[in-house]
Amino acid sequence: MSEPKSAIVTGASSGIGRAIALELAKAGWRLGLVGRDAVRLADVARACGGDVSTAALDMRDKAGFAEFVAKFGALDLYISNHGILDGRREGQIVETGSVADEVLAINLTSAIAALHEVLLVMQGRGKGQIVLVSSLGGLSPLPDAPAYSASKAGLVMYGLSLREALRGTGVGVSVCCPGYVSSPMQSKHLGHRPHEITPEDAARRIVKGALANKRLFGFPAPLWPEALFSLLVPAGVLRWFNGKLRFTVGKG
């Protein structure tokens, strides 16, 4: 009998990450789940059943994550999904510097640092698939959450660069850009969210794209092409398209 496939999912204690974990568990994967909230993470592990290990840690804790990856061993799939949404509050024109610092440290810096721990294992085995969960906001500028948009743009470019660098090594890299997903994160997003999909739907699309080693993919269909072309259209056109999408960030 062959070994079950193994995957580590970050941000697995909630929303999209939780749904990805459940989706992989249904297919019999051996799982490593990371999140900060130990109670919610344990609930997800219980719901997954099977061979699941967990690490309740902040992804900024490089040493803690490195230890977890080393203990986990053979790793076929890594889904970097953890992240926070923050931006301008009601009454502010722009987010504060401390909000920007935190968003970049969690969404971008910690994600890149973690990738290097994963690469040690995957390059050693000469195989593996990495998926970075970015956002449509990583392609289309978000005036209400510039650091969030920058962090997700950073993931797009880091992922696509890494994919090219690793060509021929057996390690694949995919970047995924979801649109609005009805996860707990969205309780902080105070604004219109057209074409919102469920975390389960997002998870199915992310896993499918990962297993097909897609380079860059996004959803839902109506917003994906708009995001892709956003840097090419004049600012006034983009402002007109995105006018209804302006938002502020609440406490959640």
Task: Give catalytic residues, as residue numbers.
Answer: 148
Least separation in angstroms between CB 6 and ligand NAP: 20
Among 32, 128, 159, 178, binds ligand NAP (CB under 6 A): 178
State which residue, 36 or 127, has the beta carbon closest to ligand NAP.
36
Q: How many residues bind ligand NAP (CB under 6 A)?
A: 28
The distance in angstroms from the start CA to the end CA of the chain is: 46
147 makes contact with ligand NAP (CB under 6 A): no
83 makes contact with ligand NAP (CB under 6 A): yes
Least separation in angstroms between CB 125 and ligand NAP: 25
| Rg of the Cα atoms in the chain | 18
Least separation in angstroms between CB 35 and ligand NAP: 4
Q: CA-CA distance, 246 to 8, in Å (whole number)?
A: 34
Residue 31: which of 115, 215, 47, 127 has the closest Cα? 47
108 contacts 135 by C-beta, under 8 angstroms? no
State which residue, 119 or 133, has the beta carbon closest to ligand NAP.
133
Q: CA-CA distance, 44 to 54, in Å (whole number)?
A: 10
State which residue, 127 or 216, has the beta carbon closest to ligand NAP.
216
What does the CA dihedral 222, 228, 234, 235 come to, rounded to 10 degrees?
A: 80
14 makes contact with ligand NAP (CB under 6 A): yes
36 makes contact with ligand NAP (CB under 6 A): yes
48 makes contact with ligand NAP (CB under 6 A): no
Q: Interface with ligand NAP by CB under 6 A: which range of 47-55, 166-174, 175-183, 219-227?
A: 175-183
- DSSP annotation of 183: S
At what angle are helices 97-104 and 146-165 packed, to 10 degrees?
Answer: 20
84 makes contact with ligand NAP (CB under 6 A): yes
- Give alpha helix (H) positions in the chain: 15-26, 38-48, 62-72, 97-104, 110-125, 146-165, 199-211, 224-229, 235-242
Judged by the rule CB under 6 A, the positions of this chain that interact with ligand NAP are 11-17, 35-37, 40, 58-60, 81-84, 106, 133, 135, 178, 180-181, 183-186
